[in-house]
Structure 1
């Protein structure tokens, strides 16, 4: 999940600022993409990414085998997000699946045909899809959430995910089965992308999201993405081809690979220290 050039690691340990900058840039995106899925809130994810990067850099001198530095950094990232990171903004709401379903059904309203294809409306619909799929994961405990993200969204092997979470493979598989069952059951019953008969559809949530300030016309709030996410129509077509139980995972994987520039701040902090 985090791959680090052993030569850059060694050069950073020897005090090269150029190597440090390159190393931080190579880590910031994978760390942030895990953090945003764990915390479901952009500012919280950026704060956590800064904390993690500083923790990695300040302890990099302890690494003896530079070839294993990437796996070591990923373990630190997972440990921080599962155990050390303070409760995030979305987590503080203490959402469970029942409460989240009630929120989804609140204020559902069909958009006028004249506006649904509007470019700004389409952006808001995509933001709602991303926000919903991220927030849904916070209904899981952190340990189940991490197992689901690593195993189902990032598709790590049992061995890789168990190592990152510092548990044995059997414990990881048990957590993943439990998390998968909860997420799949919820999505299949309530998400209109996965189940056409379901009441909740992203376009039907636009009006309520505008009322609550969760989206704003002309001002996207989701973190920038390296590559565009597939449209909801494309996601719907993709999940329709999948066997039962895999559609929820495909929906979660449809979110983009987010980018961040928090590494610049981290380098400045290291310099000032």
Structure 2
């Protein structure tokens, strides 16, 4: 959720550049985290975050109750990503659960010959795990994906989520049930973290992912802002957290809090209106 100080909201509505920057800084992380899980691609998520933040800034004057500004801003973000955002690069692949299952089945290989250092190996393993869960979400339609993200990753109540999406509680619950069934069923059948009987192992996805350019040796693209500040032991603990999560919901929640710099487009926009 997004939390705004009503004092900052009032000041921003009166034209305070400092207050606007404070609101942008408060909103950018939760908006970017939502966008990453919806679009599964860093650059696409950053573009969407810029668009959403500008929408929030330019429509502050429409607010009737500044005490509810944070909840309003989160609704702006969810509705933009559900209804208005351009299809991202991963979405344009039109990936289905069957397609993803085939990709997992064919894309297995031994990484022992790659000569990775321990740090490179742990970074690659983390990228594979996070990338896989994000791609899995994109197999859901946008309405089901957003329902799953709000309900099972962000842990919003039925009432909160249905209000954010402007649908009835019954419609939201139906979407969430369908999304849960699809995600848990797929992971139970294919994910080695979820089930020992499932064929896919994250370790065996490293070599194909490197070969196809989905990840890069020694680089953390999906979580780049945080990975550079982490020690090998911290990265190893992150990976272990993913491996010990036995339920699909827990695996999805164990993904990092993605981080991104203040979008340059928003800064340029603030410069124009100041």
Question: Following superposition of structure 1 onto structure 2, how do residues 92-111 of structure 1 map, counting pairs within 5 Å?
Answer: 92-111=92-111
Distance 1:113-1:232 versus aligned 2 partners, 3 A rule: farther
How many residues are matched?
A: 266
Distance 1:78-1:114 versus aligned 2 partners, 3 A rule: closer
Name the CA distance, whole Å, in 1 between partners of 2:256 and 2:71. Answer: 23
Deviations 1:30-79 (A, max 9, x none): 00000000000000000000000001100111112100111111111111
Look up the match of 1:31.
31
Distance 1:225-1:165 versus aligned 2 partners, 3 A rule: farther
Answering whether residue 14 of structure 2 is matched by residue 14 of structure 1, we say yes
Name the CA distance, whole Å, in 2 between partners of 1:114 and 1:52. Answer: 41
Name the CA distance, whole Å, in 1 between partners of 2:177 and 2:116. Answer: 38
Answering whether residue 178 of structure 2 is matched by residue 182 of structure 1, we say no
Consecutive unaligned residues in structure 2, runs of 5 or more: none
Look up the match of 2:244.
237
Consecutive unaligned residues in structure 1, runs of 5 or more: 240-246
Distance 1:26-1:192 versus aligned 2 partners, 3 A rule: same
* 1:268 CA drift (Å): 2.1
Look up the match of 1:242.
none
Name the CA distance, whole Å, in 1 between partners of 2:134 and 2:90. Answer: 10
Distance 1:265-1:114 versus aligned 2 partners, 3 A rule: closer
Name the CA distance, whole Å, in 2 between partners of 1:62 and 1:77. Answer: 16
* 1:116 CA drift (Å): 7.5
Q: What is the root-mean-square deviation of aligned Cα atoms in Å?
A: 1.8
Name the CA distance, whole Å, in 2 between partners of 1:110 and 1:163. Answer: 47
Q: Is the 8 A contact 2:193 2:245 kept in 1?
A: no
Name the CA distance, whole Å, in 2 between partners of 1:221 and 1:261. Answer: 14
